[in-house]
C-alpha cells in the first residue's frame, strides 16, 4: 500500500474532485436499480396484477407518471455519467501533470551512477507509457470497479428485499467465480511484468538505434539492426499474445458461470412465480437486473488484467519516485562563493561497479597552476577529474577543493566554480551562440565571440551559413570532431570559472590550432586553475606540472624537464612523438 501513497499525495488539490467522482460513481450506479423497480410496479399494477384492466383505465395518471419517471431517471443517469467521467478525467489528468513534473525533476536530480545503470529507453517508457497506465487506472479502472461493486451490491440488496431464497440461489455462483478470478489473477500477473519489461527493451533498442544511426550506416549493419528490432518486436508481441490468451483459458468458465445466473433465475424464479411466492412483476425486476450481477462477474477478467498492468507500471514508477541519489544537489538559493581554485587529492581511491580504477592518488594543485594529466588509455584520467565536480564520490581518501572535502561543499556552488569540457562532446540542438552561452544565458554577444576566438572557433563559425545563429546538435548542421571540441571549449571558458577541466579537448584539432588555444589558455583574463588531460607532449610541455597515470596509479609527477630527466613513461612518450616529428621533417628535407 506504501506504493499507493504517492498517488494520494499527488492528488492534492484534486482530492475533492476525485472523491466527488467516486461518490457520483456510487450514486449513479445505485440509480440503476430504480428503473427495474418502476418496471416491476408497472407490470404488477397494469399488466399482470389482479386489477390490471381496471387500473389501466382508472389510474392512467400513475402509469404516465411511472413511464415519465423511467425516462427521467434514464436522462438523470446519463447526465450523472457525463459529470462523473469529467471529474475522473480532470482529477487524473491534473495528477498526471504533477507527477510528470515531479518525476522529471527526480530524474534530473539523479547522479551519474544512476545514468550509468538506467537505459534511456526504459526511462522514456516510465515517463510515458507507465505514467499513462497509472492515470488510466485512476480514471477508468477505479471507476469500473466502484461501479461494478455498487451495482452488484445494490442489486443484491434489492433482490433480498424481494426474495431472500431466490437471491441466495443466485449467489451460489459467486464463490466459484471468485476462485477462478483469483487463480487467473495470480497467473497473469508475472506475464504483465514480463510484458512491461519487453516493451522497455523494445523502446531501448529503438532509441539506441536512432541515436546510433551513423554507426549503423557506417558498418552497413541496417539489416542486423532490423533483425534485432524484429526480434524484440516478436518477443513483445508474443508476450502480449500470451497475456491475452491466458484470459481465454479462464474466459469459458467465467462466461458459463455468468450464463448460469440466467438459468437459475429461469428455473428457480419461474418455479417461485408459479408457486405465487413472488409476483410476475418481481420476477421481471429480477430478470431486468440479473445483468447487474452477472456483468461484474464477466468484467472481472478485464478488471484483473488492467489491475495487473497497473501494478507492473506502478512498480516501475515507484522506482523513480523513491529513487535516492547518493550525491544530492540541493540547489540551495544561497549566495555562491567564488573559490580560489586549490585542489588536493588525498590518498584517493575510486571504484565503479567493476572494480577499483584509481588507487591511492595524492597530489596538490595551487590556485592558478596548470596541470597536465597524461597516461595510456583506460588509465583513469577521466575518472580522476570526474571526482572534482563530484560526478562520482571517492571510495577512499578525499578530494578537497579550497581545502574542503568536496562532499561537504554545496554541490551547486562547487559545480558553479568549475568549467568543464568533457571528453565526449555533447552539443544541444540549439544555435552555436546558445551552445557557447549555455552556462550563462545572459552572456553578451561580443563575449560569445570573444570566447569563440580564444577557442579558435570564431573563424569556422563565421564561415557557416548563419554564423553564430547556425543550429547545431542533433537536428542541426553537422560539425567536425575538432569543431565540436572547440565549441565545447568556448562553452567551458565562457563561464569564467576558477577551475577549468579540459578532458582531451584538443585531441582532434591540428597542431597549429592547438598552439593558438594554448596561447589563449595562458592568457585568460581571469584567475584559473587548469587541469588539462592531453596526449601530446606539445601540450603537456607547457604545463606547470605533469601527472602521469598508469593503471589507476600516479606513477610520475613533475615538470617537463624533471620528467624527461627521470627517463620514465613521459620520456618514452616524448621520444616516440618526437621521433615521429623528426621523421616527417627529414622526409620534407629530402623532397
Ligand atoms: C578508467 C573503467 C574503464 C577503465 C577505467 C567511465 C568508466 C570507466 N570504467 C568503468 O568501469 N566504468 C565507467 O563508467 O575505468 O577509465 P577512464 O577514467 O575513462 O580512463 P581514461 O580517461 O584514462 O581513458 P581515455 O581512453 O579517455 O584516455 O578501465 O574500463
Ligand atoms: Mg578519458
The string of pLDDT tens digits covering residues 500-521 is 999 988 888 888 888 888 888 8
Give 353's pLDDT tier (boundaries 50, 70, 90): confident
CA of 79 to the centre of ligand 1 (A): 65
- Ligand 1 nearest atom to the CA of residue 423, by list position: 27
Question: What value does the mean pLDDT take over residues 173-189?
Answer: 87
Question: Phi and psi of 474, rounded to 5°?
Answer: -55, -45
pLDDT at position 586, please? 42
- Ligand 1 nearest atom to the CA of residue 384, by list position: 18
Question: What value does the mean pLDDT take over residues 45-64?
Answer: 82
Distance between start and end Cα atoms, the chain: 82
In tens, the pLDDT along 393-424 reads 999 999 999 999 999 999 989 999 999 999 88
pLDDT at position 591, please? 33
SS (H, E, C) 210-244: HHCHHHHHHCCCHHHHHHHHHHHHHHHHHHHHHHH
Share of the chain above pLDDT 70, in %: 97
CA of 579 to the centre of ligand 2 (A): 25
In tens, the pLDDT along 1-37 reads 557 788 888 888 999 999 999 999 999 988 888 888 8
- Ligand 1 nearest atom to the CA of residue 353, by list position: 11
pLDDT at position 589, please? 38
Q: All domains of the chain, ordered by start, with CATH?
A: 2-321 (1.20.1560.10), 339-417+501-591 (3.40.50.300), 425-496 (3.40.50.300)
pLDDT at 585 over 50: no
Element housing 550 (H / E): strand 545-550
pLDDT at 390 over 90: yes
Share of the chain above pLDDT 90, in %: 31
pLDDT at 86 over 50: yes
pLDDT at position 437, please? 92
What is the residue whose three cell numbers read 538559493?
333
| More confident: 353 or 79 | 79
- Nearest CA among 178, 210, 198, 179 for reference residue 243: 198
Question: Phi and psi of 118, rounded to 5°?
Answer: -110, 130
User: Are 247 and 305 spatial neighbours (Cβ–Cβ below 8 Å)?
Assistant: yes
Average of per-residue pLDDT values in the chain: 87
Which residues neighbour 227 within 8 Å (Cβ) at sequence distance 6 or greater? none
- Ligand 1 nearest atom to the CA of residue 549, by list position: 23
Residue closest via CA to ligand 1's atom 22 equals 382
| Ligand 1 shell residues, CB under 6 Å | 116, 352, 354, 357, 375, 377-383, 423
pLDDT at position 349, please? 94
DSSP 407: G
The residues whose Cβ lies within 5 A of ligand 2, an ion, are: 382, 423
> Ligand 1 pocket check: which of 114, 357, 422 to mutate, most ligand atoms within 8 Å of Cβ?
357
* Residue 472: strand pairing partners: 430
pLDDT at position 580, please? 56
> Ligand 1 pocket check: which of 383, 424, 532, 540 to mutate, most ligand atoms within 8 Å of Cβ?
383
Amino acid at each position: 500500500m506504501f506504493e499507493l501513497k504517492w498517488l494520494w499525495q499527488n492528488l492534492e488539490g484534486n482530492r475533492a474532485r476525485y472523491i466527488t467522482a467516486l461518490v457520483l460513481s456510487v450514486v449513479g450506479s445505485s440509480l440503476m436499480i430504480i428503473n427495474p423497480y418502476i418496471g416491476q410496479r408497472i407490470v404488477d399494477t397494469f399488466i399482470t396484477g389482479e386489477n390490471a384492466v381496471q387500473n389501466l383505465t382508472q389510474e392512467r395518471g400513475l402509469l404516465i407518471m411511472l413511464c415519465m419517471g423511467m425516462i427521467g431517471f434514464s436522462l438523470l443517469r446519463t447526465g450523472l455519467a457525463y459529470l462523473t467521467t469529467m471529474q475522473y478525467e480532470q482529477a487524473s489528468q491534473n495528477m498526471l501533470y504533477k507527477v510528470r513534473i515531479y518525476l522529471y525533476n527526480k530524474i534530473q536530480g539523479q547522479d551519474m551512477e544512476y545514468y550509468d545503470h538506467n537505459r534511456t529507453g526504459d526511462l522514456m517508457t516510465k515517463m510515458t507509457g507507465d505514467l499513462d497506465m497509472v492515470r488510466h487506472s485512476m480514471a477508468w479502472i477505479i471507476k469500473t470497479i466502484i461501479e461494478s461493486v455498487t451495482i452488484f451490491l445494490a442489486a443484491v440488496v434489492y433482490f433480498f428485499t424481494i426474495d431472500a431464497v431466490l437471491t441466495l440461489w443466485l449467489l451460489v455462483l459467486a464463490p466459484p467465480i471468485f476462485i477462478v478470478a483469483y487463480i487467473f489473477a495470480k497467473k497473469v500477473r508475472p506475464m504483465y511484468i514480463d510484458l512491461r519489461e519487453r516493451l522497455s527493451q523494445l523502446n531501448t533498442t529503438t532509441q539506441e538505434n536512432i541515436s546510433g544511426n551513423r554507426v549503423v550506416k557506417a558498418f552497413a549493419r541496417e539489416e542486423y539492426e532490423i533483425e534485432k528490432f524484429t526480434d524484440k518486436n516478436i518477443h513483445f508481441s508474443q508476450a502480449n499474445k500470451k497475456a491475452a490468451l491466458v484470459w481465454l483459458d479462464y474466459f469459458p468458465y467465467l462466461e458459463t458461470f455468468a450464463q448460469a445466473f440466467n438459468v437459475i433465475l429461469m428455473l428457480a424464479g419461474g418455479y417461485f412465480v408459479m408457486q405465487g411466492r413472488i409476483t410476475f412483476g418481481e420476477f421481471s425486476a429480477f430478470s431486468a437486473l440479473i445483468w447487474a450481477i452477472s456483468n461484474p462477474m464477466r468484467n472481472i477478467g478485464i478488471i484483473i488484467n488492467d489491475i495487473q498492468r497497473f501494478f507492473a507500471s506502478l512498480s516501475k514508477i515507484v522506482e523513480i519516485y523513491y529513487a535516492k541519489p547518493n550525491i544530492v544537489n540541493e540547489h540551495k538559493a544561497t549566495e555562491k562563493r567564488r573559490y580560489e581554485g586549490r585542489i588536493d587529492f588525498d590518498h584517493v581511491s575510486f571504484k565503479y561497479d567493476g572494480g577499483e580504477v584509481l588507487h591511492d592518488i595524492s597530489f596538490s594543485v595551487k590556485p592558478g597552476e596548470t596541470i597536465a594529466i597524461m597516461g595510456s588509455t583506460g588509465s583513469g584520467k577521466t575518472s580522476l577529474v570526474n571526482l572534482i565536480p563530484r560526478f562520482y564520490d571517492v571510495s577512499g581518501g578525499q578530494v578537497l577543493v579550497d581545502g574542503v572535502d568536496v562532499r561537504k561543499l554545496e554541490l551547486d556552488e562547487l559545480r558553479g566554480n568549475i568549467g568543464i569540457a568533457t571528453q565526449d562532446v555533447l552539443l544541444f540542438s540549439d544555435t552555436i551562440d546558445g551552445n557557447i552561452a549555455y552556462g550563462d544565458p545572459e552572456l553578451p554577444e561580443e563575449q560569445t565571440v570573444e570566447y569563440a576566438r580564444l577557442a579558435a572557433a570564431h573563424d569556422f563559425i563565421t564561415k557557416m551559413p548563419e554564423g553564430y545563429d547556425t543550429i547545431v546538435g542533433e537536428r542541426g548542421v553537422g560539425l567536425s570532431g575538432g569543431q565540436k571540441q572547440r565549441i565545447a571549449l568556448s562553452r567551458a571558458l565562457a563561464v569564467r570559472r576558477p577551475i577549468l577541466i579540459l578532458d582531451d579537448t584538443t585531441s582532434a584539432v591540428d597542431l597549429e590550432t592547438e598552439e593558438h588555444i594554448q596561447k589563449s589558455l595562458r592568457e585568460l583574463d581571469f584567475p584559473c586553475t587548469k587541469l588539462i588531460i592531453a596526449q601530446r607532449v606539445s601540450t603537456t610541455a607547457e604545463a606547470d606540472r605533469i601527472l602521469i597515470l598508469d593503471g589507476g596509479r600516479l606513477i610520475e609527477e613533475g615538470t617537463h624537464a624533471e620528467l624527461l630527466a627521470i627517463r620514465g613513461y613521459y620520456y618514452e612518450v616524448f621520444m616516440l612523438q618526437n621521433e615521429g616529428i623528426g621523421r616527417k621533417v627529414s622526409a620534407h628535407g629530402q623532397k
